[in-house]
């Protein structure tokens, strides 16, 4: 379903991680450059930068734009890679043997591989990406355990990631491969000057023979963009835009999938604002 969407940030990061490790090896560094450590570093970096999605069949225009942005991006990625290498080499996976070659897969057991979950948060008043926001992923009333320590939950948005948050939930055991199950999640979004927001969603997953070894584009679940508003601001905006004489009558009822005033691309707002009233 999502295979036609490609995150070009992955290509840039994987290429640059490979270059960086090669350069370190050439300098005689004793930092482990095994495949597992390189993947961990790549995940560390990808987890802290905005994804750059293209539809694989119309990527050309986007790639041209990226060429212009490329210079700055490389510098940002380089800084993140150095942070990532430091962190990965200080927290070596005890279960990996750190020799080059294929990833270690000590546990070959059927699991539901939950995809990585990606979304963006904006200020509903000026449409700027948000930072200083805490996003927590929940399932069955509790924060979800992440795949490993390179992924955080709750996730705190810093300015350099342009309102993007990502989660990679730990896989869930299955009795056998090929079972279909729907997993219900919610993200709770909290920021000092905004109304908190809960967004509910479900992800259908078919179980696999073994845990997914690495971050993969085929396993990304993209949430709709979400917009936060300061308390009370959303209603005021709706009314002033439509010039209603009696604002009380025109406030959309929070009955869930509101249409009309909040239509089209903004419909995810009403999903979130309904949840606020729980």
Out of 32, 43, 130, 197, the residue judged to bind Zn ion by CB under 5 A: 32
Task: Tell me which residue has tokens 């290429």.
Answer: 15
Residue 205 interacts with Zn ion (CB under 5 A): yes or no: no
Out of 62, 87, 98, 188, the residue judged to bind Zn ion by CB under 5 A: 98
User: Least distance from C-beta 222 to Zn ion, angstroms?
Assistant: 31
Residue 37 interacts with Zn ion (CB under 5 A): yes or no: yes
Residue 34 interacts with Zn ion (CB under 5 A): yes or no: yes
Question: 45 near 84, Cβ under 8 Å?
Answer: yes
H or E element that contains 25 = helix 8-26
User: Least distance from C-beta 234 to Zn ion, angstroms?
Assistant: 49
Residue 144 interacts with Zn ion (CB under 5 A): yes or no: no
Q: How far is residue 101's CA from residue 98's CA, in Å, rounded to a whole number? A: 9
Residues 6+ positions from 199 with CB-CB distance below 8 Å: 119, 186, 187, 189, 223, 226, 268, 271, 272, 275
3-state SS assignment for residue 134 = strand
Rg (CA), the chain: 21
Q: How many residues form the binding site for Zn ion (CB under 5 A)? A: 4
- Is 149 or 254 the residue whose CB approaches Zn ion more closely? 149
- Is 20 or 239 the residue whose CB approaches Zn ion more closely? 20
Residue 49 interacts with Zn ion (CB under 5 A): yes or no: no
Question: 236 near 265, Cβ under 8 Å?
Answer: no
The footprint of Zn ion (CB under 5 A) covers 32, 34, 37, 98
């Amino acid at each position: 379903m999502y295979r036609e969407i490609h995150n070009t940030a992955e290509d840039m990061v994987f290429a640059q991680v490979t270059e960086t490790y090669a350069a370190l090896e050439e300098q005689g560094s004793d930092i482990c450059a095994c495949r597992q450590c390189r993947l961990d570093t790549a995940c560390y970096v990808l987890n802290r930068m905005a994804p750059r999605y293209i539809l694989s069949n119309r990527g050309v225009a986007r790639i041209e734009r990226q060429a212009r942005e490329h210079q700055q991006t490389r510098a940002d990625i380089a800084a993140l890679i150095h942070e990532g290498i430091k962190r990965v080499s200080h927290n070596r996976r005890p279960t990996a043997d750190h020799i080059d070659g294929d990833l270690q897969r000590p546990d070959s057991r059927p699991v539901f591989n939950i995809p990585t979950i990606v979304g963006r948060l904006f200020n509903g008043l000026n449409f700027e990406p948000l930072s200083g926001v805490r996003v927590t992923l929940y399932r069955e009333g509790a924060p979800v355990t992440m795949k490993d320590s390179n992924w955080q939950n709750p996730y705190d948005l810093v300015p350099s990631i342009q309102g993007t948050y990502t989660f990679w939930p730990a896989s869930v055991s299955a009795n056998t491969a090929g079972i279909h199950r729907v997993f219900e999640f919610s993200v709770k979004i909290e920021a000092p000057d905004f109304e908190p927001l809960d967004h509910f969603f479900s992800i259908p997953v078919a179980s696999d023979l073994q845990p997914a070894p690495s971050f993969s584009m085929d396993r990304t679940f993209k949430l709709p963009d979400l917009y936060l508003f300061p308390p009370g601001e959303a209603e005021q905006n709706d009314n002033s835009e439509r010039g209603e004489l009696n604002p009380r009558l025109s406030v959309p009822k929070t009955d869930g999938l509101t249409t009309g005033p909040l239509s089209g691309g903004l419909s995810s707002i009403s999903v979130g604002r309904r949840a606020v009233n729980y």
